[in-house]
């Protein structure tokens, strides 16, 4: 257990969170059964659990992409359940960065433009300092040479790194990643996790990452295990030595 030197602020708090699919139909099923969870600003946490346990469901909920059936999500202290779609979208855009399993870059845009996209969506035409920040983020993920390439001309790992740079563009307080290394080889996957670690440290951004790989979750500070829609364990641990990054 590593005790933080200064008190850590809370980014996210889930209270009695429930989610059912198919509400009002004969096949209504509850996937999350009242989840409580607090994420702190310095957390670099892994979310693990068997397939179908509700990890993606939980991530979508706390990323404000989906609405809970019951319970409340406090993001930076703000209750979010009663917000309308526009308010949730704005809060999502300004505080949360997403990384998905299949990078999900826009194929028509270059790497740099993809990174700029979140900023453009909320602030319109990018200013020179936005472009400078995007270039720096791309350099940070090791893609300084590839800013003008379209996604189709990048490898899977490079695409995923562009997606990570994009998630950081709005300087989010919380980075959510759903199996970001699911279709990457182990070496590339390890480098992505090393990148998360660095982001968590350098940008002061809470990271919650879903993974199936125990070696990767071992490199985090905290492991949350979800089974059948219930958190069965939540442990803080000192990280294993990071796997060799490529």
Partner 1 sequence: MWVEWHIALKFLRESGAQTLLIVIGIAVGTSVIVFITALITGLQDNLIERTLGTQAHIKVQPPDEINLTVTPPGNPALLTLEDRRAQRLHSILSWQDVVATLDGLPGVKAVSPVVAGPAFGVRGVAVKSVAVLGIDPVRYQRIIPLSKYLVAGSLRVGAGDTLIGRKLADDLGIRIGDKLRLEASGGRTAVLNVTGIFQLGVSELDTRYVYLDLKQAQSLLDLPGGVTVIDITIDDIFAAETYAARIARLTGLKAESWIETNAQLVNGLRSQSLSTVMISVFVAISVAFGIASVLAVSVVQRTREIGILRAMGGPRRQIQRVFLLQGGVLGLAGSTAGAAAGYGLVWIFNTFGPGLFYIPVAPALIPGAMAIATLVGVVAAAAPARRAARLDPVVAIRYV
| Positions in the binding site for ligand ATP (CB under 6 A) | 21-22, 31, 49, 51-57
Among 115, 66, 120, 114, residue whose Cα is nearest residue 89: 66
> In this structure, what token pair is assigned to residue 177?
């990643």
- Which one, 45 or 154, has the nearer CB to Mg ion? 45
Strands (E), the chain: 10-21, 29-40, 44-48, 70-75, 78-79, 96-99, 174-178, 206-210, 222-227, 230-236
**What whole-number distance in Å separates Cα of residue 135 and Cα of residue 138?**
5
- Which one, 187 or 227, has the nearer CB to ligand ATP? 227
Site for partner 1 in 158-177 (CB under 8 A): 166, 170
CB of 211 to ligand ATP, least distance (A): 10
92 binds partner 1 (CB under 8 A): yes
- Applying CB under 8 A, among 1, 125, 129, 152 the residue interacting with partner 1 is 125
Stretch that binds partner 1, among 29-37, 99-107, 191-199, 234-242 (CB under 8 A): 99-107
65 binds partner 1 (CB under 8 A): yes
* Phi, psi at 27, each rounded to 5°: -100, 25
Among 224, 246, 97, 241, residue whose Cα is nearest residue 169: 97
| Positions in the binding site for Mg ion (CB under 5 A) | 56
The residue written with tokens 């028509």 in the block is 108
**Residues at the contact surface with partner 1, assessed by CB under 8 A:** 60, 63, 65-66, 85-86, 89-90, 92-94, 98, 100, 104, 106-109, 117-118, 120-122, 124-125, 166, 170
């Amino acid at each position: 257990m590593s005790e933080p030197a200064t008190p850590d602020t809370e980014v996210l708090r889930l209270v009695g969170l429930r989610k059912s699919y198919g509400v009002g139909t004969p096949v209504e099923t509850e996937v999350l059964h009242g989840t409580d969870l607090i994420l702190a600003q310095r957390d670099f946490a892994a979310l693990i659990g068997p397939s179908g346990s509700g990890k993606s469901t939980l991530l979508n909920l706390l990323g404000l992409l989906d609405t809970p059936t019951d319970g409340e999500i406090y993001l930076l202290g703000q209750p979010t359940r009663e917000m309308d779609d526009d308010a949730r979208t704005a809060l999502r855009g300004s505080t949360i960065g997403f990384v998905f399993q299949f990078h999900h870059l826009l194929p028509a845009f270059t790497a740099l433009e993809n990174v700029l996209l979140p900023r453009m969506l909320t602030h319109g035409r990018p200013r020179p300092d936005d472009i400078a920040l995007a270039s720096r983020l791309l350099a940070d993920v090791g893609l300084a040479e590839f800013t003008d390439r379209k996604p189709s001309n990048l490898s899977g790992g490079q695409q995923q790194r562009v997606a990570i740079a994009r998630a950081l563009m709005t300087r989010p307080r919380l980075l959510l990643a759903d199996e970001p290394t699911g279709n990457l080889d182990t070496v590339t996957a390890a480098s992505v996790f090393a990148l998360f670690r660095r982001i968590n440290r350098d940008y002061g951004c809470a990271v919650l990452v879903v993974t199936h790989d125990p070696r990767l979750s071992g490199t985090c500070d905290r492991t949350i295990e979800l089974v059948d829609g219930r958190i069965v364990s939540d442990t803080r641990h000192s990280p294993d030595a990071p796997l060799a990054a490529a």
